[in-house]
Structure 1
Amino acid sequence: MVVDAWMQHGTVRFLQHEMLDSLWRWTGKKPPEQEIPVQETVKAMDGGGVDVGLISAWYGPEGALVSNDEVASFVAAAPDRLKGIASVDLRKPMEAVRELRRCVNELGFKGLRIVPWLWERPPTDRLYYPLYAECVELGIPFCTQVGHTGPLRPSETGRPIPYIDQVALDFPELVIVGGHIGYPWTEEMVAVCRKHPNVYIDTSAYTVRRYPPELVRYMTQDRHHKVMFGTNHPMITADRALVGLDELGLGDEAREAFLEGNARRVFRL
């Protein structure tokens, strides 16, 4: 099995948002004019050998770019292949907690994702803390982005130290998944991952051949590493993301943990 820990099945309003202009420029593609059929995302997963993809909602200050109910409808169209990750309006803590409960208890979602740069609030902001407590109670991970931002927004909120480090100290029971590797602070992210037993890294937004050497050393030298595969689909597809995997030199146990084991445990798949 291969699990993709960070995907989007985006709506047109999300994929055409001006903040993603830089990403489309890098990929040489243009955002779609019409809604994409779920089967297109499943087809892309098949092309890269991905069995299960975790697709997330996106909420920002302007509202839902991909709503939780839209994600639920996408999952319903391919329930054996797609699993939902919730998002919420960070500015309304109690409404956000109630919505998270609904997503997990009624919709079967597997985690919560909030992208700090979208709100320009680091993960240590007080508005996150009720959600961290609820994630612990619900037994789901908190997923976020670490590292610089490709979209045209400030990058400071993605620093692993002090932000992820402090959250892990305040909530040692909280499982945290830092997506997008943490570059250019990859060494910091690896250090935080080694320090805290419930902190993980996912490789979304990077192809295998672009993994920083600090990350590769961690994955190859520690068969119990806490790195999981992700693409950031549709910006990077699985067939591109995994090219060169055999060249990393991962042992069987480390490879299994990377491609499926860590994600299966964290997201309770």
Structure 2
Amino acid sequence: MIIDYGATPPIPELSLSDGAHLKNYRRVYASAEKAADRGSMDLEQWFSAVDEAGIDLTVIKARDVETTFGGRVTNEAVAKVVADHPGRFLGFAGVDPNKGMTALRELEDAVTGLGLKGLNIQCFENRLAIDDRRMYPVYAKCIELDIPVNIHVGMNFSLKTSPEFGRPMLLDKVLCDFPDLRVIASPPGWPWVEELLAVAWRHPNLSIGLVAMRPKLLGVENSGYGPLMQYGRTILKDRMLFGTAWPMLPMKRAIEEIRALPIDETIANRWLGENAKALLRL
């Protein structure tokens, strides 16, 4: 089973209503998005590409950045897409911790009412550090609801916010304070990859999403991603999750690059779906 842990299919309701703060991403990912046919692929064509790549399930994620950047992908929109396409998608909620109790109520409703299976927090978009005190009630609610939380970790390319919000070491304090919290750090920490690996080694509830980066870079000398392959095929082999972040990466090419890495087929299968299946309790 192949699970794409993070993509945005061409459905208008899944795109931020105002994504101007992400303009620099289009420059950084221009060549990859061209290869992924961003902007020219409709939903039917997208499903065909999913099937051609052999992807069985795609995780889609809501986002709430209204207080900082005025945009939102609603929990209701994500839940509707999941319901409209049975067996194709699994949805994560999105809330804005800056909203206090409103965020907690929305998260509970998203899980218990709408049936979403996790929480997505892009800390750089909320302009909050991973260990900010405003995040703590949200983490506690995730434990109460028994859901994992996806946290953006590593560099961001928005020029309207700081990369420091994504430092992996900030996760260490959170996981010390919330040892039962299940976290997926994605993207995988660049340029602080070794820092993220150290935190993951310390905390068994931390997984790493190989998302929004070309898998072939794991085998490229001096790319900064190399340690992920070494630890991902050994002590962290059960905690690596593959994701295309489509339209940032072409789906079939990304999977082929995983298969081409110098790792055992059993390890590749873990990364491509078995680990996500276990984490998401499918």
Q: In the alignment, which of 198, 207, 211 is matched to residue 205 of structure 2?
A: 198
Q: What's 1:112 paired with?
A: 119
Q: Secondary structure at the match of 2:200?
A: helix
1:164-243 alignment, distance < 5 Å: 164-211=171-218, 212-222=225-235, 224-243=237-256
Structure 1 stretches of 4+ with a deviation exceeding 4 A read 28-33
> 1:32 Cα deviation (Å)?
4.7
List aligned pairs for 1:33-72, cutoff 5 A.
38-60=43-65, 61=67, 62-72=69-79
Matches within 5 A, 1:113-128: 113-128=120-135
Structure 2 gap ranges (5+): 219-224
Quote the residue 2:144 is aligned against: 137
What's the TM-score, normalizing by structure 1? Answer: 0.90
Counterpart of 1:21 in structure 2 is 23
1:72 and 1:105 map into 2 onto residues whose CA distance is 12
Over residues 165-204 of structure 1, what are the superposed CA-to-partner deviations in whole Å (9 max), with x where a residue is unaligned? 1111110000000001100000111111111010000011
User: Which deviates more, 209-218 or 169-178?
Assistant: 209-218
Alpha-carbon distance, 1:260 to partner:
1.2
> Which moved further from structure 2: 210-219 or 36-45?
36-45
* Paired residue type of 1:74: V
Q: 1:24-56 deviations in whole A, cap 9, x for unaligned? A: 2232459759xx864444333223221101100
d(CA) in 2 for partners of 1:249 and 1:15? 41
For residues 15 and 93 of structure 1, do their structure 2 counterparts lie closer, same or farther at Cα, with a shift above 3 Å needed? closer
Matching residue of 1:4: 4
Q: Choose the corresponding residue for 1:159, options 161, 167, 180.
A: 167
Identity of aligned residues (%): 33
- 2:2·2:273 contact (CA, 8 Å) conserved in 1? yes
User: How much has 1:262 moved relative to structure 2?
Assistant: 1.4
TM-superposed deviation, 1:89: 2.2
Structure 1 residue runs without a partner (length 5+): none
Q: TM-score, normalised by structure 2?
A: 0.87
Equivalent residues of 1:11, 1:65 under 8 A apart: no
| Aligned-pair Cα RMSD in Å | 2.2
Residue aligned with 2:6, SS: strand
In the alignment, does 2:263 pair up with 1:260? no
Return closer, same or farther for 1:20/1:243 CA change in 2, 3 Å cut-off. Answer: farther
- Does the residue aligned with 1:168 lie in a helix, a strand or coil? helix
Residues paired across the two proteins, number: 266
Q: In structure 2, what residue type is equivalent to 1:3?
A: I
- Letter paired with 1:154: S
Deviation at 1:79, TM superposition (A): 2.0
